[in-house]
A and B are shown apart, each in its own frame.
Chain A
Amino acid sequence: MTESDWPLFEVFIRSRAGLEHKHVGSLHAADARMAVEHARDVYTRRQEGVSLWVVRSADIVASDPEEADALFEPARDKIYRHPTFYAIPEEVKNL
């Protein structure tokens, strides 16, 4: 690592207990401890968080948009995962 390329980290913040961590952006830091501090300084100036994750960008594995069809298209046809596919008489409660 040279001085010019502190690695890139992606930042995820949980803004309130009960919510999941959301991706908010990225920043550069020399090490993980610094990354957490930078994330706190940059992304929580208005108390937007109760929990922070920082992950080196290089460690993130992403799905390839080229494969979006193969990965995500099949689910569109399988409508039997959706509750509206089943016809239930109105008188039946709690279903």
Chain B
Amino acid sequence: MQTETRTEAQQQQAHCHYVLRLADTSLVLGQRLAEWIGHAPALEEDLALANLSLDLIGQARLLLTYAGELEGQGRDEDALAFLRDAPEFLNLALAEQPNGDFAHTIVRQWLIDAWQLEIYGALEHSSDTRLAAIAAKAIRETRYHYRFSSGWLVRLGDGTAESRQRTQRALDDLWRFTAEPFAPDEIDERMSRAGIATPLPELASRWSARMEEDLRAATLTRPATQPFPWHGKRGVHTEHLGHLLGEMQHLQRSYPGARW
């Protein structure tokens, strides 16, 4: 009996953490994109990046609220967003990388958009109906995001000599974060067995094929280096997350208990 309860509890926690991984990736990426507002290469791109940011934060809010319910400790979307420290954040390490130049931002966006297309696409058929509903809404946004980011990848890769150089550089810089999105761990396996998530290896080949096609269209070279096995989704981050959270959480931390 005790073992059953413990297994149930473990499963519940895995479920909660699985949702948090999705939530935190959207939140951190949304926060990064928000940093561009007012500083984009053209006014039209200010609006485009703001639109992406808004969509991602919207996804984060839905997913965080659900994660809080699964956790069952009374934490709402804001308690989770503003009062957890970096080791408790479960986003992909890729999402927290700094904006850099526009090429870095576009490459980071394109990689995550292609990943979200697979993940949300698969979650539409999840045995978890709440997650399926969130995914159904999110995938429509992701399709637009992917159209935007892949379009820009091609413009920059196949633009001027300078833009190709910058974009190839961005790809080389961010390549080390591309193993994590499709590397399954114990939580992913639990979710697959429960019919909540599709096994990652099944999704990985489609993601890889799409990447190849886009890189070809963008006249870019797939980096030869091996990606490093980051564990952002287990709370082991790069140094960047701490600074991002410091800025994001400042007001709530400085005025504990205040309503905003």
Closest to B159 in A: A30
A residues within 8 A CB of B44? 27-29, 34, 38, 41-42
Please, how many angstroms separate the alpha-carbon atoms of A41 and B144 in the complex? 11
A30-B155 in contact given A38-B44, A41-B47, A41-B51 (Cβ < 8 Å): yes
The residue of chain A having its C-beta at the shortest distance from the C-beta of B50 within the complex is A41
Please give me the residue from chain B that is nearest to A31 by CB atom. B155
Question: How many residues of B are counted as interface, with CB atoms below 8 angstroms from the partner's CB atoms?
Answer: 10
The answer to the question of A48 belonging to the interface, with a C-beta cut-off of 8 Å to chain B, is no
Contact (Cβ within 8 A) A38 B155? no
* Across-interface contacts of B48 in A (CB, < 8 A): 37-38, 41
Asked if A78 CB lies within 8 Å of chain B CBs, one says: no
Query: A28-B42, A37-B147, A37-B148 are contacts. A42–B47 as well, Cβ < 8 Å?
Result: yes
How would you classify the secondary structure of chain B's contact residues: helix, strand, loop or mixed? helix
Whole-angstrom distance between the Cβ of A39 and the nearest chain B Cβ: 10
Sorting the interface of chain A by its residue count into under 10, 10 to 19, 20 to 34 or 35 or more gives 10 to 19
Confirm or deny: A76 has a beta carbon within 8 angstroms of a beta carbon on chain B.
no
Q: Is the CB of B42 within 8 A of A37?
A: no
A33 at the interface (CB under 8 A from B): yes
Chain A positions 36-73 with a Cβ under 8 Å from a chain B Cβ: 37-38, 40-42, 45
Residue-wise, chain B 42-73 has the 8 Å CB interface mask toward A (1 for contact) of 10100110010000000000000000000000
Question: What distance in Å separates the Cβ of B208 from its nearest Cβ neighbour in chain A?
Answer: 25
Distance in angstroms from B47 CB to nearest chain A CB is 5
Bound Cα distance from A60 to B258, whole angstroms: 57
Q: Is B98 an interface residue (CB 8 A)?
A: no
CA distance A6 to B44 in the complex (A): 11
CB nearest neighbor in B for A41: B47
A42 — nearest CB in chain B belongs to which residue?
B47
Which residues of A lie under 8 Å from residue B147 when comparing CB positions? 37
Contacts of A6 in B (CB 8 A): 42
Interface readout for B143-183 with A: 1 if CB under 8 Å, 0 if not? 01001100100010000000000000000000000000000
Chain B residues with CB under 8 A of A30? 155
Give, as a whole number of angstroms, the nearest-CB distance from B154 to chain A: 10
Min C-beta distance of B40 to chain A, whole Å: 12
The chain B residue sitting closest to A30, CB to CB, is: B155
* Bound-state Cα–Cα, A48 to B144, Å: 17
Contacts of B151 in A (CB 8 A): 33-34, 37
What is the bound-complex CA distance between A42 and B102, given in angstroms? 20
Mark contacts of A16-35 with chain B using CB atoms, 8 A cut-off: 1 yes-contact digit, 0 otherwise: 00000000000111100110
**Which residues 59-93 of A sit at the B interface, judged by CB distance below 8 A?**
none
Of all chain A residues, the one with the shortest Cβ separation from B154 is A33
Complex Cα gap A28–B51 (Å) = 18
Given A38-B44, A41-B47, list of 4 further CB < 8 A pairs?
Answer: A27-B44, A29-B44, A37-B48, A42-B44
12 interchain pairs, CB-CB under 8 A: A27-B44, A28-B42, A28-B44, A30-B155, A34-B44, A34-B151, A37-B147, A37-B148, A38-B48, A40-B144, A41-B48, A42-B47
Q: 4 nearest interchain CB pairs?
A: A38-B44, A41-B47, A41-B48, A41-B51
